[in-house]
Chains A and B, each alone.
Chain A
Amino acid sequence: MSMYNSNRGGIIQIIIGVIFFLIIAQLISLQIFSSKYVLAANNNAIFRKIIYPDRGIIYDRKKRALLENTISYDLVVIPNEAKAVDTATLCDILKIDKAEYSKRMIEVIIKNSRVKSGIFEPFLSAELYAQLTENLYRFPGFSLSERSIRSYPYNTAAHVLGYVAEVDVNFLQKHGEEGYEMGDYAGMTGLEKQYEPILMGQRGVKRYLRDNKGKIQGPFEKGQFDTVAIAGRNLFTSMDVEVQQLAEKLLQHKIGSVVALNPKTGSVIAMASSPGYNPNLLTGNQRRKTIGRLLTDTARPIYNRAIKGQYPPGSTFKPMGALIALDEGLITPSFGYNCFGLYTSCGDPRKCEHHNAGHAANLQLALANSCNSYFLQVFRMAIDNPQYHNAKLGYLKWKQYVNSFGLGRKLGIDLPSENRASIPDTAQYNKDFGGAKYWNSCYMLTLGIGQDRMTATPLQLANAMAFIANKGYYYTPHFIDSVEEEDEVDKKLLANFRVKQQVTKIPTEYFDIIKEGMHGVTVFGTAAFIKVPGHEFCAKTGTAQNPHGKNHSLFVCFAPKDNPTIAVAVVVENAGFGATWAGPIAGLVMEKYLNDTLTKESKTKVDYLSNVDLMPEAIKAWYVRNNKTEMLTPIEYNNDELADIWDMEMLSETAPIKVKVDTIKKLDTAAPPVQPVAPPIKNKKTKEQALNPKMKKKKLNNKKINVSI
């Protein structure tokens, strides 16, 4: 009977086949065409643990570590295991209350879930660490976890070294492909930023299998996909910790900068910027407290004036001006100018510090005595050089020279955000004076003595000295001489630091002449009282007028005279004469570097100079107004002991107040008359602002008249 339905077996087969086909179609879609499931599975089950390598260390020229890694401890907790905790004792140790305890616990749970460990208290102090280790058995679920942080045994070179900090969203966007993750640390400024890839090393990744409750089951695939952490490589500089510390010490209570280069290599020996800060204040748990204060300080302690500060070079530019004129054949070494204390060729008279006859009878004398009239004349000769038909072309040629000395352009030092400062363009003068036809050498006359719109960074000034010391070339200033286990990439990176920047073809005789002149400065000229025991040196003082108040005190020099191994530029803002403040600082820096030690007399000088307070009144007033002590200055430079970062906190909180009061008092009462190291300065009256020029055409910053010693 049912035999008639035998075809129905086939229909049933078709139905089964169709359903199986549907299943297979869905499997194709799931297993072949959707990649999201693999990702989802990996997100579920693979727990990536990043193994952080130690960061590379930066050494000075004597292989002393400018910064190191130290271990800091965090108190971490796995909330699920934190049962029967002696909370009272724990709160007592951490000095928190129960409410704070539960608040933190909830934060940990929100951030890292109940089964993973989260940070309960970061960066434990030594004392806390000891107390917690002793009592840890009372706190089940809590443990101490190591992490590596930076420390700075010499408390120095904060601006140069920079700091590391936790990466933020912006950083992650910029460095998306370099494998950084939230919570990572990276170099944010200074050498730490510049050499981040080398210092960081290579992070290792360990993959663990995690079950549905978040428990680690063991290594994923027996660790075959794990990568090993490779430690960051060390960097070697030519810096000298002691010179660096000395420079920073001498700049205490002042605003300014010291840059010392080795002209033979372009390596930086010391670079200080004041006010500065103790780099240990930006590591570990110090950072949170300090960073805000540093950022809001009106004296801008984070700002590296050595590469960013733009100062009119003033008279320190004069050797360069002379060099141009010599090379152009406009003057000879015997060229003299009959200066009687005023330069009047451009209408408004410009003052010169000297009026005795013959103080500018030849180039050497003019340099030694820093005669303004002489160099104004030389500048005019260069601009109005008949060879170039008009002032504009003459100016361009002059600018080309100045740029070739490394002024007005970025030198390419291995620090982030170097400033190019300014050697003005003709376009700016065209704009000011209504066109190229309407100006001549008289309109920017004071460029000849490093004023007008000319600015330079202390680094550029030091580099210009290296250029003169080397007689016509320099090496790009840099910190890093070599990298540990240098590879091809590193060689490429450092290649530019290892070639001479042969920028001009000025004959060496001309350099000899300039050197003689600058030597004259230190023998019978404006800096004759500054001595470096055992060494002859060449120098040039500068006292630069500026729109911000008292004149800047500048000093550039190199030593020894015949085989220079150090070139220094010092700027002290609003301090007055170049020879009074910047000069002695530079002298001491050179002495320390060349002799490796200071004479007893020099040490007294250091003590005196480091305590002189030359902070502008406005800044002092700001400190008083904001009820802040100057936390930045009183850094104890102690080479023997490693600084204890917990002690630093004490220092910054309490000690400064006393020191501050002392120095202010000393300045108020004793400082002006008693100047044990500074020799009597001729012509005290130069400070007065005489002879205000009136520009006939357009407004020009008429404050910029040069006064020079």
Chain B
Amino acid sequence: MSRQHASAMAIPAVGPRARMRAFFGTSAARVATAALLILVAGAVLAPWIAPQNPFDLAQLDILASRLPPLSRGASGALYLLGTDDQGRDILSAILYGLRISLVVATVSVSFAFVLGTAFGMIAGTAGGRIDALMMRIVDIQLSVPAILVALVLLALLGRGVDKIIVALVSVQWVYFARTARAVALVEKRREYIDAARNLGFSQARILVGHLLPNALAPLIVVATVEVAHAIALEATLSFLGVGLPVTRPSLGLLIANGFAFMLNGEYWISVFPGVALVLVVFAINLAADRMRDVLDPRRTP
């Protein structure tokens, strides 16, 4: 990516601001970003904007259970998206569920980012046998589907927020490792690394202070895609009943909870949380796709 930096210095137009402008150049990217902003804002502000606290049993009215969308409860409260089998307002449940899904995904991806990048950069700069051995581990893990690795880990660990984070990190670090290694292999031959080495800087300082900033662009793209993956994978695991505990109803658990009622035609309990899930995952993927185009000049047509 240092080539990009060089050109950034030569032609001032290719700075971060120009890149931002390029990013918002397509309507897909604009719509995706807007949708993401709304969803994230809804999740962050859930305790203040949700009509109801779905964890507070005192606020739930069992008589108002399984009401269709746009119904009103006994107290006159409007249930915009209906209620579930415990009289919980679906819209509130979605906002709180999204919160849990987003927190679990971003925390997992952050850990995976740090671990995977460190692993990949060490492998890439070490080279030779150490590199071959380290990448063997990555290859073997990549040959087994992520869902299987996560399921087995959760079978060993049990349910829980911390456990699902461990499972997601174990699945995702490899993608960062692969990307970081590829960048490290290219960058370590560049002159600025030689210069840093000749100045007598320590290996750690060169890795963190010099190599890492130049590897950041592709890693951020990977991180964005992986947040979407993490959300989808966590939802799947929770749907299968091996992910988050029932006390932490993420989107996946909400969907699982409504599945039985869907067969009777009470679609809203599952469908609306599902729509929120799909919107988040798809918007992040669209944004990541555009980011890749903007950050990697070779890919732009």
Partners in one complex: no
Interface residues of B (CB under 8 A from A): none
